[in-house]
Amino acid sequence: MHQAYRHQLGSKTYEFRNLADLMAKATPSRSGDRLAGVIARSAEERAVAQMTLSEVPLKQFLNEALIPYEQDEVTRLIIDEHDQAAFEPISHLTVGDFRNWLLSDLASSEMLARIRKGVTPEMAAAVSKIMRNQDLILVAKKCRVVTAFRSTIGLAQRLATRLQPNHPTDDMNGIAASILDGLLYGNGDAVIGINPVTDNVVQATRLMRLMDEVIQQYEIPTQSCVLTHVTNTLECIEQGAPVDLVFQSIGGTEATNSSFGFDLSNLAEAEQAAQSLNRGTVGRNLMYFETGQGSALSANAHHGLDQQTCEARAYAVARKFNPLLVNTVVGFIGPEYLFDGKEIIRAGLEDHFCGKLLGLPMGCDVCYTNHAEADQNDMDNLLTLLGAAGCSFVMGVPGSDDIMLNYQSTSFHDALYVRRVLGLGPSPEFEAWLERMQIMSNAAGARLNDQLPAVFADSLTRLPASNQTDQGAIHHG
């Protein structure tokens, strides 16, 4: 079963222990694989591994499980859900052929949708390892994945945003202030999603109600989410809280997920409970998953796999539950997994490609931490590349600075920048709302109104009396 893979280069024979070893050695260089001790020992070994991997038949991935079937429920999910009929058109290809096929005109958007259930995460990861950044962009752009709840995500020439109004003490008015800022900058059509400071059912419920009231009062075609543990969200639903989306961080191995404190049955139970609330208007996708390369190794649950392959396997977990949104939080984990801007950019493009190829509504938290070798220019590059690749959504954080999670993501301004440069609109329901509310004069062209719409100016008049010192400037008339 675990055959070795060999490649002759001149007088030198390279040998790779098994498919997992070959995949790891073929992976473009990154610090997390070095940390795990699975990285290629030289640039030549990496290039040879890529050549060797390109000759592996796609069928081999169905025969050689990287983590044994008996040991891991994610492997079981991947194997049990594999669709042989969907696989049929590509079943004769090697990994290298698969790259050619994906780039060719045979792989239309319709064809890519037809085969997606026949592609396993390992096949997607393998082909991505021998694709250049431009290949990852070109093929992802052809993959169309449309999902909906109260807004529609993933249509052509659209880019949605998660409005992320986090506050270090979950202060209601502090969060509301960031929500207003985001809405007035045309952000929030993917979700208004809060990371609470502590995992607590009482607080999660309070935040859900805050967002629900805002969404209802202004009739915003979007959905809310508190990014708390799935078991908390389930408890919130049982207590009657207004739950739109169910959140969970997920990983690509059973052991990673148990380190996160859940298994597949928890996700199924929570999805079913949230579906029973019937809160969607234009669709029923209601799961929101976050992923990121390095989480499996961080939990010491990677089984000797490289981090990008583990990441792709997480998409099998996501795919099972028809999510509205899947977000790879690419630079959050830190420099021990993705060292610098170059590694973060490559990982963001890989994750987006693999997710889209597997049929997921893939977005990306284009981000970095202050201990990584990265800066705003790197994020500008990745954001622009993902916009070109047809990324479903990105984050919108006030001024790029998440004051609760202590990292930098894309800002409300950044979303408008990329929409303007690439001619991308928000989700159609939200676009109409932005114009109806007079926030934008031309939402498709990312053109903001210069005036504060009266309905929002009114909300400023409700500020506490003690804090109205400089409010005369707004409404002394």
Partner 1 sequence: MADQANTSQLDASNGVTDNPWRLLRQFTAARIGLGRSGVSLSTREMLAFQLAHAQARDAVHLPLDFDALSQQIEALAAECPLLGDELPLHVHSEAVDRMTYLQRPDLGRRLDEASRVLLCQEHQTPQKPFDLALVIADGLSATAIAQNAVPFIRALCEALEHDDQGWNLAPTILVEQGRVAIGDDVGELLNAKAVLVLIGERPGLSSPDSLGLYLTWAPRRGLTDARRNCISNVRPDGLSFREAAHKALYLLRESRRLCLSGVQLKDRSGSLEDASEGDLIGQPDQQGDPRSFLVT
> CA-to-CA distance for 278 and 273, rounded, in angstroms?
10
> Is 448 assigned to a binding site?
no
**Is 391 among the residues that bind partner 1 (CB under 8 A)?**
no
Query: In the range 309-348, which residues lie near partner 1 by CB under 8 A?
Result: 334-336, 339
Min separation Cβ 326 and partner 1, Å:
21
Closest CA to 344 of 367, 326, 311: 367
In order of 78, 368, 419, the CA distances from 385 in angstroms are: 30, 16, 12
Residue choice 130, 136, 210, 225 for contact with partner 1 (CB under 8 A):
210
Say if residue 6 carries a ligand binding annotation. no
- Binding segment for partner 1 (CB under 8 A), chosen from 50-58, 70-78, 370-378, 384-392, is 370-378
CB of 210 to partner 1, least distance (A): 6
83 C-beta neighbours (distance < 10 Å), count: 12
Q: Is 290 annotated as a binding residue?
A: yes
The verdict on 224 binding partner 1 (CB under 8 A) reads: no
The footprint of partner 1 on residues 429-468 (CB under 8 A) is 446, 448, 450-452, 454, 456-457, 459-460, 462-464, 467
For residue 169, give both structure tokens. Answer: 């003490």
Q: Cα–Cα distance between 247 and 267 in angstroms, integer?
A: 9
Q: Report the alpha-carbon distance of residue 13 to residue 331 in Å, rounded.
A: 36
CA–CA distance, 104 with 102 (Å, rounded to integer) = 6
One DSSP character per residue, 213-243 reads: HHHHHTT-S--EEE---HHHHHHHHHTT---
In three state form, how does the secondary structure of 22-51 look? Answer: HHHHCCCCCHHHHHHCCCCCCHHHHHHHHH
Interaction with partner 1 in 268-307: which residues (CB under 8 A)? 298-301
Distances (CA, A) of 158 to 26, 244, 422, 436: 34, 22, 10, 19
User: In the Cβ-directed half-sphere of 118, how many Cα atoms lie within 13 Å?
Assistant: 18
Closest CB 454 distance from partner 1, rounded Å = 8
258 in contact with partner 1 (CB under 8 A):
yes
For residue 209, state whether it binds partner 1 (rule: CB under 8 A): yes
SS3 label, residue 5: strand
- Known binding residue 163? Answer is yes
Instruction: Output the CA–CA distances (angstroms, integers) from residue 430 to 179, 190, 209, 285, 343, in the order listed.
Output: 15, 9, 21, 17, 34
- Asked if 384 is part of the footprint of partner 1 (rule: CB under 8 A), the reply reads no
Are the C-beta atoms of 305 and 71 separated by less than 8 Å? no
Q: How far is the CB of 158 from partner 1 (least distance, A)?
A: 17
* Interaction of residue 260 with partner 1, rule CB under 8 A: yes
| Residue of 60, 71, 91, 200 interacting with partner 1 (CB under 8 A) | 200
Among 2, 132, 436, 475, binds partner 1 (CB under 8 A): 475
CB of 371 to partner 1, least distance (A): 5
298 is in an annotated binding site: yes
Query: What's the min distance (Å) between Cβ of 137 and partner 1?
Result: 23
Looking at residues 179 to 198 of the shown chain, list those that interact with partner 1 (rule: CB under 8 A). 179-181, 184, 197-198
Q: Is 135 in the site for partner 1 (CB under 8 A)?
A: no
Question: What residues are designated binding site for adenosylcob(III)alamin?
Answer: 196, 248, 298, 404
Question: What residues are designated binding site?
Answer: 162-164, 195-196, 248, 290, 298, 365, 404
